[in-house]
Amino acid sequence: MDIQSATASGLQGLQKAQGDATQAAADIAANLTVSPEEFGIGQENNTDTADKNADSTKLPNLSEAVVDLKVAEFQAKASVNVIQTADETLGTLLDVRA
């Protein structure tokens, strides 16, 4: 494996970790946000309509989102280690040839 592909793999891993962290953060925020309907603001007196609205808006699982955020953190750390190793290897090769 050459150094450029190792660096590219590290960068791709960082980008994926960023996307996963962003999605997990959005899922966490969706679980923590309180809608006006939960306070009874703007609700109709018809309970059937309220039940239909509750079923149609499924919230992401909060515990899964927290785990996904932690996984993204580990993925980012691993990608940084790959980039650092590629950088050190390149520095070693340049020192040997110089």
**Domains identified in the chain, total number:** 1
Q: How far apart are CA 85 and CA 90, in angstroms?
A: 9
- Compute CA distances 87 → 1, 3, 76, 92, whole Å: 14, 8, 16, 9
Q: How far apart are CA 14 and CA 51, in angstroms?
A: 41
Give the domain extent around 10: 3-97
CA-based nearest residue to 11, from 78, 92, 58: 78
Residue-wise pLDDT tens digits, 34-73: 666 665 666 565 555 455 445 446 777 889 999 999 999 9
DSSP classification of residue 36: G
Please tell me the pTM assigned to this model: 0.67
